[in-house]
């Protein structure tokens, strides 16, 4: 399973990248706004900076919701860097745009996916990635990881090539469960990635080893 970091914060991207396990970055308009990035030029420059920091797929989301607008914006985003993945919402014109981008060699990430039916449409349109939002599904009282397993089974039976990108991750446990359920990629906040490191027995064991090491010098 590939690891993406889900943020537009450059310090966090740098920290995750330095761990050596980062395969890409996802952003969305809310994450860009959180970093105070304002205006088209600033947004484009921010994506360029991220592309220069991380050698991997970088998702950049369109704001337009009509077919022509999505194409215009998507083409501009794709021109920033060869690693840009154009992120398109799961709406009718979004599906049409996904197909157009696929036919024209532009990689895509279909976002705001909450059902297996939507994931089938994204795959049929040739999306490179499909992003089920598992944390938001959990928040609404359903089981997000179960959706990952269901999509994984359907894609495997049908031979769809679209990669399942588990998004809206809330914890280290989510990452483990998504790996188990067949996600190809997990896009995670830095805290959830670092959460994978933690186990009390590791801390206790290391303290003991360091204590005993003193006896050997």
Question: What residue ranges bind ligand E4P (CB under 6 A)?
Answer: 6, 26, 28, 111, 131, 133, 135-136, 167-168, 187
- The dihedral through the CA atoms of 85, 88, 89, 92 has a sign that is negative
Least spacing, CB of residue 59 vs ligand E4P, in Å? 6
**Which entry of 87, 161, 177, 198 is annotated as an active-site residue?**
87
Query: How far is C-alpha 128 from the geometric centre of its chain's CA atoms?
Result: 12
Q: Are 89 and 83 in contact (CB under 8 A)?
A: no
Burial 143-152 (b: 16+ CB within 10 A, else e): ebbebbbbbb
Count Cβ atoms below 10 Å from residue 131 Cβ, excluding itself.
28
Least spacing, CB of residue 21 vs ligand E4P, in Å? 18
Least spacing, CB of residue 16 vs ligand E4P, in Å? 14
Rounded to whole angstroms, how far apart are CA atoms 8 and 183? 22
Closer residue to ligand E4P, CB minimum distance, 4 or 155: 4
Closer residue to ligand E4P, CB minimum distance, 127 or 167: 167
87 part of the active site:
yes
Least spacing, CB of residue 43 vs ligand E4P, in Å? 15
Closer residue to ligand E4P, CB minimum distance, 129 or 155: 129
Closer residue to ligand E4P, CB minimum distance, 163 or 168: 168
List the beta strands (DSSP E) in the chain. Answer: 2-6, 24-26, 57-61, 84-89, 108-113, 129-132, 163-166, 185-188
Catalytic residues: 87
């Amino acid at each position: 399973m590939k690891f993406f970091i889900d943020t537009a914060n450059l310090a966090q991207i740098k920290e995750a990248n330095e761990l050596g396990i980062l395969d890409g970055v996802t952003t969305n308009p809310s994450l860009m706004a959180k970093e105070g990035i304002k205006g088209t030029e600033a947004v484009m420059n921010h994506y360029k900076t991220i592309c220069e920091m991380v050698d991997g797929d970088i998702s950049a989301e369109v704001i337009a919701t009509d077919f022509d607008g999505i194409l215009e914006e998507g083409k501009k985003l794709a021109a920033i860097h060869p690693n840009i993945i154009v992120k398109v919402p799961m709406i009718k014109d979004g599906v049409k745009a996904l197909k157009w981008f696929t036919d024209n060699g532009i990689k895509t990430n279909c976002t705001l996916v909450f059902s297996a039916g939507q994931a089938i449409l994204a795959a049929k349109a040739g999306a490179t990635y499909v992003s089920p939002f598992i944390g938001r599904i959990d928040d609404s009282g359903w089981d997000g990881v179960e959706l990952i397993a269901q999509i994984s089974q359907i894609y495997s039976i049908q031979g769809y090539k679209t990669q399942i990108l588990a998004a809206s991750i809330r914890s280290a446990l989510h990452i483990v469960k998504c790996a188990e359920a067949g996600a190809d990629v997990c896009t995670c906040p830095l805290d959830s990635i670092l959460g994978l490191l933690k186990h009390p027995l590791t801390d206790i064991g290391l303290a003991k080893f360091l204590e005993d090491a003193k006896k050997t010098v």
